[in-house]
Structure 1
Amino acid sequence: PYDIDVEQALLGAILSDNRSMERASALIKPEHFYDPLHGRIFETMSHMIERGGVVVTPLTLHATMKADPGVIETGGQAYFDALQAAAPAIPNIRDYAGILADLAVRRSLIRIGEDIVNTAYDAPTEKDSKAQIAEAEKALYAVAETNKYGEGALDFHEALRRTVEAAERAAARGGRISGVTSGFHDIDNLLGGLQPSDLLILAGRPGMGKTALGTNMAFHAAKQYMRDLEANAEYPSGSPVLFFSLEMAAQQLSGRILSEQTELEVWKIRNGRFSETEWEKFVLTMQELSSLPLYIDDTGGISIAQIAARARRMKREKNIGLIIIDYLQLVEPSRRHDNRVQEITE
């Protein structure tokens, strides 16, 4: 999929008004163009505008690119003149750039799909299906990352509006928190809840209770979300949770939660040594907790790319609002580094 007309309209608009390059370069790169010549033209104009001192016109652009075989083939300066002449009177640069970025992503997805099919047919015997899936996830993650350009700078009015919205959510929840509850009042009071923009790292020595704290946060956020739905709350303070457990199995984590909620020792749950009263309490609690929107992925040795891909899928399917990873050092880096510090930093 491609659209040569949109590519030409964008280049013509930049030739007509060099300031348009700022808006375009925030969304696309030269590789987003289907026609390689158009990609080279965009890159050359970008470099000329960045250096400053010269206005990019058909004449100056031709002087810079006159040795390019594609420019010679298309007619030299006459092609640049035609681009500028065909530029829309009131161009919408962001729309043009958005269209080209979307088409480039589609082409990348088609290439990845073809690679997946060819690999599945012709993969060597030592390359099993899990390795093929991991490669596909990494390729999709790379496409997603290269397509992330953000929304650019926010004017102060928009930043203030978002701040007011967060304050409104906190007020609607009784003046307590604007983010997702952690289940711990002191933490929520300090942070205002777990905010969507936050990356929080919990550090501590082995055996200090990091997993227990993370599990409790996940449980309380999911449980509060169910309470909010039952109360028809306009702004839920809980949320569905995705828990990546790289050390413990999902069964162990759920056993911990059941032990805390039933006030039964973990060993009783593992060995099934219940009194009649304890068994009844255990079953009733299990039924009550089974509907919680808490999803545990206990895949060992998972990579950053796989975590990102699975988190995006769960966000689409379950509207995840909180992700917990236990623990950071067990995440496989997408590529090997000289030392472990660099790997963990990635």
Structure 2
Amino acid sequence: MSEVDANEEFLKQVPPHYLDAEKNLLGILMLQGSMLADLLESTGKFDPDDFFSQKNRIIFEAILRRAERGSEDFTPTLICTDLEQSGKLAKAGGEAYVHSLTNVSASVYSINELAEKIKNSAQRRRLIKVADHIKNLGLSPEGRSNTDIYDEAMGMLFNLAESTHRENSGPQGITATTIEAIKDIKERAASDNKMRGVPTQFHELDELISGLQGGTLNIIAARPGIGKTSFAMNIVENIAMNPDIKAPALVFSLE
């Protein structure tokens, strides 16, 4: 096969995707909406752009919009109503397609595995897009020197690698954080155990914040000489000396 034939064959290839995984994931969310919060919490950034199918992307956007309003009810009927009101029902495949998604062939316990397949294929599509742009730089440099082309290509690959790494770390979008906050509030209201974080042993403070929460930054602010450092060290000591929680405590002092 010549190089020209190989390039033509490459262009005919369909980008990586998992349509069955996309359909099953949407169907699971429609059947058990409470799993959306767990999905977003375990996978980090997971958004509509990860879907290969435009229909599935639009349906997932509709699910996220309902979740932002505090709902965990994503039945096909409700999703169709929302899509019809927004004028996107036809682009989402119509009522028949939306309702067909609940005929899932995967267990609800495999939703994270489905999400991982969808995310991985989306990342590979982005890599292919970058590679195609780099190929075009080589074919049509438009006055760029080879050094400039190398620098631009390396920059694009570096940015892609960084964005892939940041999907599971760093700041998260408002949709995921809102859904997670709503889930946490509902769990607190339904639970007899109001202490969901690490107790400071300052009981009035613990009642207000339900203990120190993982992944949060708590700032103690006051005028000089009020006792901020002593208060912070008391919290550290209370946590370190509490045999019931066995949580580590570490102090970095810049004073």
TM-score range, shorter chain: 0.5 to 0.7
- Measured against aligned partners, the alpha-carbon deviations of 1:116-153 in whole angstroms (never above 9, x if no partner) come to 1111111112x112222222222223322332332799
Secondary structure, aligned partner of 1:85: coil
Cα distance, 1:87 vs structure 2: 5.0
2:129 is the alignment partner of 1:111: yes
C-alpha contact 2:33 2:72 (8 A) present in aligned 1: no
Aligned partner of 2:39 in structure 1 is 24
Deviation string, structure 1 residues 173-201 (Cα, Å, up to 9, x no partner): xxxxxxxxxxxxxxxxxxxxxxxxxxxxx
Change (3 A) 1:96 1:5: same
Structure 1: runs of 5 or more not aligned? 157-346
Residue number in structure 1 paired with 2:19? 4
In 2, are the aligned partners of 1:15 and 1:56 still within 8 Å (CA)? Answer: yes
1:57 aligns with 75
Listed as ranges, the matches of 1:1-346 within 5 Å are 1-25=16-40, 26-53=44-71, 55-66=73-84, 71-72=89-90, 76-125=94-143, 127-147=144-164, 148-150=166-168
Is the partner of 1:34 in helix, strand or coil? coil
C-alpha distance 151-10 of structure 1, shift in aligned 2 (>3 A) = farther
> Structure 1 residues 54, 111: closer, same or farther in 2, change over 3 A?
closer
Following the alignment from structure 2 to structure 1, what is the Cα–Cα distance between the partners of residues 145 and 54?
36
* Structure with bigger gyration radius: 1
Q: Is the 8 A contact 2:24 2:105 kept in 1?
A: yes
Shift of 1:96: 0.9
Task: Report the equivalent of 2:207.
Answer: none
Structure 2 segments unaligned to the other structure (5+ residues): 1-15, 171-179, 181-195, 198-255
1:21 deviation in Å? 1.5
Contact 1:4/1:34 (8 A) holds in 2: yes
Distance 1:47 1:140 in 2: 32
Partner of 1:201: none
Distance (whole Å) between structure 2 residues aligned to residue 75 and residue 28 of structure 1: 22
Q: Which amino acid aligns with 2:54?
A: P
Determine if contact 2:34/2:72 at 8 Å carries over to the other structure. Answer: no
> Shift of residue 11 of structure 1?
0.6
CA contact (8 A) 1:10 1:87 kept: no
How far off is 1:88 after superposition?
A: 2.4
- Residues 13 and 91 in structure 1, CA contact (< 8 A), matched pair in contact too: no
8 Å contact kept, 2:56–2:92: no
Deviates more, 1:19-28 or 1:96-105: 19-28
TM-score (normalised: structure 2):
0.54
- Cα distance in structure 2, aligned partners of 1:41 and 1:145: 28
The CA deviation at 1:90 is 3.2
Q: Identity over aligned residues, as a percent?
A: 23
Residue identity matched to 2:36? M
Supply the RMSD in Å over aligned alpha carbons.
2.9
Higher relative contact order (CA 8 A, sep 6+): 2
- Answer yes or no: is the 8 Å Cα contact 2:55–2:93 preserved in 1: no
Q: Which structure shows the higher strand fraction? A: 1
Shift of 1:37: 1.7
Distance of 2:87 and 2:104 partners within structure 1: 23
For residue 34 of structure 1, report the CA deviation from its aligned partner: 0.6
Give the number of equivalent residue pairs: 155
